[in-house]
Amino acid sequence: MVDHHRTGILCLLTLAAATAGVPLSALAYEPTQTMDGQRLRWFVRPEPIPFYTALVPAHANIPGVDLPALVQAAYDQWSDRAPCATVPVFVHAGTTNDTSSTFPESLADTDNLVVFITSADAWQALGQSSTVLASTFVRYVASTGEIFDADIAVNAAAHVFSVDAAGPEGTRDLLTVIQHETGHALGLAHSGDEEAAMHAGYPEPTPTEPLPGRRLAKDDLIGICASYSDVPVHVPPDVTPPALLHDPVTTVAHGHAVPIEANVTDASGVASAYLHYRADGETEFTRVELASDAGDGAGRWRGEIPSTATDGASVAYYLWAVDGSRQANTAQNPPAAPDTLHRITVTSEAEPPTDAIEDSLPETEPADAVASSPEGGVDAATTPDASGAETSPAGAESGCAGGLAHGDGSVVLGLMYAWRWLGRRSRSGRSSHA
């Protein structure tokens, strides 16, 4: 199950209420947390974390932008300037043709993308207001708070950006925006310190500092080190599906139940296994949970197709299993199920086979009463063999492809998104935020 929930507005309102009467320097920075109170952060990895940048559309109208270098500079400032060694290092890994934020289906399918959204409809599809300059979408494991993907989307549909210190009137400095969003990608929420890069409002220039948002303030550095204290080591996700071995059943006598057995093994353990079958003429599958021979060490799982399903011409079935990893990897047998299925042919009830030839011999009579015979012997009689029933070979059946129900296996992942960085400050102070 994927847990989708928003923060941002709620965090800002909570922060404003909680800091009343408290010195700002004590409670300015704010780490992002899961609903269980786990801090969101990247776990320690042996290699730098890759990020990708989408090609900047020409109509985004940002002359001279080198997006990979700009994003690299923003990430580097967090890792280079922080007085702690556990802030992760990011490195540019390539460009893509994506036009919006991507949503990975698994812990291994991540890209940490930076993308410009140039369509108002595409921006609204992300659930964002047109006044938002950029949003960061963070995917994490809810039980631990480990971040595994962070995409930054820049709203080029409603705002114009520049890369020069003295950009045209009405433009926003792109590095200032990216510096703020990379903080979200690292797990930080908004700060109450107006001098911090992680403050929610776009910083206005001053006579001595035309682009104050490009630098990290002391509050930013304290916040990032607080978030990255006592960081666990990243364990690569198990992306290997279970091994599901099964010898298909091909025939069954009419009205008989069909025992089904499979060997299911996985390094992370097997969470559950199911048999899906449908009788002749049916369009929907019936699901039966398989039982494990616990403790046998062989991974045997057993179930049964009931006798009520074998009163037609055939029964089609497949097996499905999910492992015990947080990724909840699945396997089917046949591998292409439910598009390809095992088929059981139902045969008519056969007479028990008679394999032996029966000798019919006369009873022995007294010597004086033996019947005469031309050869002086006895006649032998035999009964014919009983014929066996023929069976036809099993075939494959094409079924309707069906989506996998979430109930077959679950993985608790989290999605935090839409940190909002709204508006611009007036000359007298920061703008208000929704």
Query: How far apart are the C-alpha atoms of 42 and 422, rounded to whole Å?
Result: 26
Quick check: helix, strand or coil at residue 143?
Answer: coil
% of the chain surpassing 90 pLDDT: 53
Query: What structural domains and CATH numbers belong to the chain?
Result: 2-236+413-417 (3.40.390.10), 243-350+391-403 (2.60.40.10)
Residue 369 phi/psi, 5-degree rounding, is -120, 15
Question: Closest Cα to residue 287, out of 338, 352, 363?
Answer: 338
Query: How far apart are the C-alpha atoms of 153 and 156, rounded to whole Å?
Result: 9
Q: What pLDDT digit, counting tens, does each position of 7-25 carry? A: 222 222 222 222 333 333 3
Q: Is the pTM of this model over 0.85?
A: no
Q: Which helix (DSSP H) or strand (DSSP E) does residue 273 occupy?
A: strand 270-279
Given pLDDT bands bounded at 50, 70 and 90, which one contains residue 298?
Answer: low
Residue of higher predicted confidence among 317 and 366? 317
Helices (H) and strands (E) in the chain, counts: 5, 22
Residue 397 has pLDDT above 70, yes or no: no
Q: In whole numbers, what is the pLDDT of the chain averaged over residues?
A: 76
In this structure, what token pair is assigned to residue 121?
A: 């409809």
Q: What pLDDT digit, counting tens, does each position of 95-117 carry? A: 999 988 888 776 667 899 999 99
Q: What pLDDT digit, counting tens, does each position of 245-257 carry? A: 999 999 999 999 9
Question: Closest Cα to residue 222, out of 426, 433, 28, 76?
Answer: 28
In this structure, what token pair is assigned to residue 147?
A: 């971040």
In this structure, what token pair is assigned to residue 307?
A: 């006798």
Query: How far apart are the C-alpha atoms of 126 and 182, rounded to whole Å?
Result: 18
Question: Between vectors from CA 249 to CA 248 and to CA 251, what angle results, nearest 5°?
Answer: 145
Query: How far apart are the C-alpha atoms of 242 and 223, rounded to whole Å?
Result: 42
